[in-house]
Chain A
């Protein structure tokens, strides 16, 4: 169990979810095609109780949401179950979304991550995750950046750009960020799991996150 001071995972009842204020986000989400409703339009529709709005939001983001869940729980069946639960939660918690405070994707990602990490902990999958970590210590960071090609980047694919930013980090920094973000581990848990001194974990996290943050700022205009 993480002991980190997690703003999302500690002391916030699920019913009080109001997350990911990304008003000044550097990133644009998957852009709606001309003539189609924007993400905010769909969230407004969901708030008004329109099932079709949820259906469209699902079609637009189920792949990203499932990929995030899968990255955390590492189990296809659990990921499908959680995918359904997350979109049900989006339906139920839509009233807590405010377009003034952030973008729908940021809100959904934060909600999804919380839900998936909660599930990981509740099912006591930590032990299994640790085993996996020990079994494939070098595969995890590389899996993060798979399928990134120069052509993808030329086409301006957001995923490739994000993966490129992350893959530009030293593997040691990718590893600690992977464990913190996707496994919900505290700095101490990362240190214990990797036999890296706590101070080094902190430094790697700070440096890695700063690099990603700075790269996103640079990409702001390109995106």
Chain B
């Protein structure tokens, strides 16, 4: 697999669209190209951020945060309580 072909596969890989039959060759090329391959895969994850940042932010109910923080604080207190006993 050429590095250009590897790059195409890597972009599919990070969004989960690399088909199973292509995975073995991709992993072999990943080993073959070593650090350059890992570096490129890392860069490809920018695609995730791009897709998310392209969306118009959605408004969430304020109750969600209240519930979340109540759960977190309860968990924190339980953990600190069990740590002190």
Contact = CB atoms under 8 A, between A and B. Distances in A.
Interface of A: 2-9, 20-27, 29, 49, 51, 54-55, 58-59, 62-68, 70-71, 79-80, 83-84, 87-88, 91, 101-103, 105-106, 109-110, 112-113, 144-147, 158-159, 162-163, 165-166, 177, 180-182, 184-188, 202, 205-206, 209-210, 212-213, 216
B16 A180 contact: yes
Interface residues of B, number: 48
Contact of B48 (A54, A71, A106, A159): A106
B60 A5 contact: no
Contact of B57 (A64, A206, A216): A64
Going nearest first, the 9 A-B pairs with the smallest beta carbon separation are: A63-B57, A6-B16, A162-B54, A67-B55, A5-B23, A209-B11, A66-B58, A180-B17, A67-B58
Interface in B39-63: 39, 41-61
A187 B17 contact: yes
A162 B12 contact: no
B8 A4 contact: no
B1 interface: no
Given A5-B23, A63-B58, A66-B58, 11 more contacts: A4-B19, A22-B45, A22-B49, A26-B46, A51-B76, A63-B59, A101-B42, A109-B49, A147-B56, A159-B57, A180-B17
B65 A55 contact: yes
User: A interface, by DSSP: helix, strand, loop or mixed?
Assistant: helix
A29 B76 contact: no
Interface of B: 7-8, 11-20, 22-23, 26, 39, 41-61, 64-65, 67-69, 71-73, 75-76, 79
A213 B44 contact: yes
Of the listed residues B55, B61, B76, the one surrounded by the most CB atoms of chain A closer than 10 A to its CB is B55
Residue of B13, B45, B51 with highest tally of chain A CB at under 10 A? B45
A50 to B, nearest CB: 9
Nearest to B27: A5
